[in-house]
């Protein structure tokens, strides 16, 4: 590759055939298939057009004249799409991406109006009754096995506790990791989705949720949660 790049710099051309003939006299196993020959052309093209674009890490900020705050602000601006009644046009970027959250029935299901799921990555709930919608503020997130195996969602609102357990049961979630759960005792916007350790089960329109403490430490608790739907146990798993 270095030979070809040096040749291109000196003559403005790359003679692949002559170069490979010379190299194969020295290394008989070099470039044995058509695919390898094509790959070499693509690699040479990429290397040639990107020459001079390498920037040492310590010079990036000076060369690009940006900092972390600029990138963070840009990301926030790109995600911060206003509601239609705030002046956003249907032709503006992002309108269709977040179309489902604009429905009046779904607006109250978002904890923060500007933290929204992209419809391309949002799980769609099955409707048990006509009054229940398909929307939940959640997204699939990748792990080491699959790009759509784990789920990320907000702490349930009082009105979305049923939707939360619909998500868990419909997608066979076996482990729930919840952060800042103590805030439900002081924040009225956080719905009670797991019962207190020694308290009565939680009952919603569709579910009854029971919990049993299995581990307790300084960093959190682990509960064994059993979810009943219409008098039938449909899921048992851990919550930490």
pLDDT digit string, tens, across residues 196-215: 877 789 998 899 999 999 99
The percent of residues in the chain predicted with pLDDT above 70, rounded, is: 78
> Residue 15's domain spans which residues?
2-49
Q: What is the DSSP letter of 156?
A: P
Q: Give the Å distances, CA to CA, from 59 to 68, 117, 142.
A: 14, 36, 32
Q: At what angle do helices 34-49 and 2-11 cross, to 10 degrees?
A: 50
98 located within any domain: no
Q: Are residues 25 and 122 in the same domain?
A: no
Length of the chain, please? Answer: 240
Position 86 pLDDT exceeds 70: no
For residue 37, what are the contacts with CB-CB under 8 A and spacing of at least 6?
16, 20, 31
**Strand pairing of 202-203 and 175-176?**
unpaired
62 located within any domain: no
Q: Are residues 145 and 235 in the same domain?
A: yes
pTM of the model: 0.56
CA–CA separation, 222 and 77 (whole Å): 38
For residue 39, what are the contacts with CB-CB under 8 A and spacing of at least 6?
none
CA–CA separation, 48 and 73 (whole Å): 34
Total domains in the fold of the chain? 2
């Amino acid at each position: 590759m270095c030979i070809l790049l040096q040749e291109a710099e000196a003559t403005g051309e790359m003679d692949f055939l002559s170069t490979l003939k010379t190299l194969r006299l020295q290394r008989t196993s070099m470039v044995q298939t058509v695919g390898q020959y094509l790959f070499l052309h693509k690699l040479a093209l990429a290397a040639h057009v990107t020459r001079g674009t390498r920037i040492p890490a310590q010079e990036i900020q000076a060369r690009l004249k940006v900092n972390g705050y600029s990138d963070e602000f840009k990301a926030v601006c790109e995600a911060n799409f206003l509601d239609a009644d705030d002046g956003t046009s249907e032709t503006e970027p992002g309108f269709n991406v977040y179309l489902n959250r604009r429905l009046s029935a779904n607006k109250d299901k978002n904890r923060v109006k500007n933290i929204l799921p992209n419809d391309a990555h949002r799980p769609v709930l099955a409707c048990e009754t006509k009054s229940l919608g398909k929307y939940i503020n959640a997204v699939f997130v990748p792990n080491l096995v699959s790009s759509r195996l784990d789920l990320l969602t907000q702490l349930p609102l009082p009105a979305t506790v049923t939707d939360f357990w619909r998500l868990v049961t419909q997608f066979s979630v076996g482990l729930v990791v919840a952060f800042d759960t103590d805030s439900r005792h002081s924040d009225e916007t956080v719905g009670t989705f797991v019962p207190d350790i020694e308290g009565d089960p939680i009952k919603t329109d569709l579910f009854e949720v029971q919990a049993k403490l299995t581990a307790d430490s300084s960093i959190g608790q682990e509960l064994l949660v059993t979810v009943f739907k219409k008098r039938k146990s449909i899921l048992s798993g851990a919550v930490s």
